[in-house]
């Protein structure tokens, strides 16, 4: 005799899927010092980016006929705020159009911390799973306490053994190093004026997860684009939606892969982003949805999330300043 099993419908976890493009192409991730330099800096940026856009599109076309490609642009309103959306956004769109580029989606960097009252950065932080170095016994405080994430064993503190012998210096060690170690230790946040200030690499990691369609809150998608109907942009950054769809005919915001076009001063930041992605326990159902859909389309998607993010680094202006806007 077979026993019937009854479950509450609401007890079944449900992860809502999101539409996906083949490629999410980021046309800019600039900070306020770039905008302070005036329209000429934006013009130079988009002129350089345009050179690489066609190559990125051609690369996507190799993986599938008529690939769905969406473009996005990220503005820093988290570390510093300059001007207003009403003044700045039209300038960005004008200079992009002048270079022959179309920005489909516009995002605020502060939305990678909090969007629609959802603490996105905090939720991703709770999904971090540190890779324990060989022979470690949990003596290192957890990343949730320290705010630092490494890709291996930090240099041990010099100490005396039980027999009184002074142990000499030992080098840091990368987990899964090939021949030699490339050790990284990334600061995820700091405390400022009694509040947590998320680092540029950590916010960029949240941004990558959003672009890859892998962020959820209670199973629901986050950073859902809101349509822009051509109305004037607000005069306050907090009044600008976290993510705007500027092009009504654009391909979906999230994609199987991302490509980010950046000045080469961002290289160290994006190396840190990949370290964070490698140690993030991404929503399993979201990963499964992407795997099943890409298989149906006959598209190969790397199993490792970090490998889905690609970059083009170009030589930026010599006076462009720091890669982090704090």
Residue 318 has pLDDT above 60, yes or no: no
pLDDT single digits (tens) 43-68: 999 999 999 999 998 888 887 678 99
Q: Give the model's confidence band at 159: pLDDT under 50 very low, under 70 low, under 90 confident, else very high.
A: low
CB 84 within 8 A of CB 235: yes
Question: What's residue 238's pLDDT?
Answer: 93
Residue 90 has pLDDT above 70, yes or no: yes
For the ranges 135-139, 261-265, 318-322, the one whose mean pLDDT is highest: 261-265
Through-space distance between the first and last CA atoms of the chain, rounded to whole angstroms: 67
Residue 301 has pLDDT above 60, yes or no: yes
* Residue in the structure block whose two tokens are 């099943």: 292
Burial of 91 (0-12, 13-18, 19+ CB in 10 A): middle
Q: Taking residues 117-138, what's their average pLDDT?
A: 81
Give the H or E element holding residue 42. Answer: helix 39-62
Higher local confidence (pLDDT), 254 or 63: 254
pTM of structure: 0.88
Comparing CA positions, the residue from 34, 106, 70, 116 lying closest to residue 316 is: 34
Question: What's residue 256's pLDDT?
Answer: 97
Question: What's residue 169's pLDDT?
Answer: 73
Please give the structure tokens belonging to residue 156.
Answer: 């041990």
SS3 content of the chain, % helix, strand, coil (to 5): 35, 20, 45
Residue 322 has pLDDT above 60, yes or no: no
Q: Give the model's confidence band at 219: pLDDT under 50 very low, under 70 low, under 90 confident, else very high.
A: very high
CB 34 within 8 A of CB 320: yes
Q: What CA–CA distance (Å, rounded) separates 276 from 272? A: 6
Comparing CA positions, the residue from 285, 279, 270, 268 lying closest to residue 203 is: 270
* Residue in the structure block whose two tokens are 């005396």: 160
Comparing CA positions, the residue from 184, 210, 30 lying closest to residue 121 is: 210
Higher local confidence (pLDDT), 167 or 292: 292
Q: What CA–CA distance (Å, rounded) separates 141 from 161? A: 21
CA–CA distances in Å: residue 158 to residues 15, 44, 161, 169: 48, 50, 10, 6
Q: Give the model's confidence band at 325: pLDDT under 50 very low, under 70 low, under 90 confident, else very high.
A: low
pLDDT single digits (tens) 12-47: 558 899 999 999 999 988 877 888 888 899 999 999
Question: What's residue 59's pLDDT?
Answer: 87
Mean pLDDT of the chain, nearest integer: 86
CB 290 within 8 A of CB 20: yes
Q: Give the model's confidence band at 319: pLDDT under 50 very low, under 70 low, under 90 confident, else very high.
A: very low
- Rounded to 5°, angle at Cα 113 from 108 and 116: 75
Residue 296 has pLDDT above 80, yes or no: yes
Higher local confidence (pLDDT), 112 or 7: 112
């Amino acid at each position: 005799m077979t026993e019937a099993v009854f479950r509450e419908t609401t007890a079944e976890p449900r992860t809502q899927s999101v539409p996906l493009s083949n490629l999410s192409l980021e046309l800019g991730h600039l900070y306020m010092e770039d905008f302070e330099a005036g329209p000429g800096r934006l013009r130079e940026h988009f002129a350089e980016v345009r050179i690489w856009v066609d190559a990125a599109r051609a690369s996507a076309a190799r993986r599938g006929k008529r690939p769905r490609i969406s473009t996005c642009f990220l503005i820093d309103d988290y570390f510093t705020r300059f001007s207003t959306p009403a003044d700045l956004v039209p300038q960005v769109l004008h200079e992009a159009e002048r270079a022959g580029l179309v920005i489909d989606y516009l995002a605020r960097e502060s939305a990678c911390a909090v969007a629609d009252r959802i603490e996105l950065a905090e939720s991703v932080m709770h999904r971090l799973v540190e890779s324990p170095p060989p022979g470690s016994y949990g003596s290192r405080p957890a990343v949730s306490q320290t705010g630092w994430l490494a890709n291996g064993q930090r240099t041990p503190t010099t100490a005396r053994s039980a027999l009184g012998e002074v142990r000499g210096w030992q080098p840091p060690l990368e987990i899964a190093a090939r021949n030699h170690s490339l050790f990284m230790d990334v600061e995820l946040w700091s405390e400022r004026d009694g509040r947590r200030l998320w680092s540029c690499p950590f916010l960029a990691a949240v941004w990558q997860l959003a672009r890859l369609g892998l962020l959820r809150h209670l199973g629901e998608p986050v950073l859902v684009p809101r349509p822009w109907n051509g109305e004037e942009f607000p005069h306050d950054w907090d009044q600008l939606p976290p993510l705007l769809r500027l092009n009504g005919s654009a391909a979906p915001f999230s994609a199987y892969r991302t490509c980010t076009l950046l000045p080469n001063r961002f290289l160290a930041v994006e190396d840190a982003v990949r370290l964070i992605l490698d140690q993030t326990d991404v929503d399993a159902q979201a990963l499964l949805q992407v795997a099943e859909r890409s298989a149906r389309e006959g598209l190969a998607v790397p199993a490792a999330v970090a490998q889905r993010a690609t970059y083009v680094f170009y030589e930026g202006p010599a006076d462009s300043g720091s890669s982090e806007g704090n």
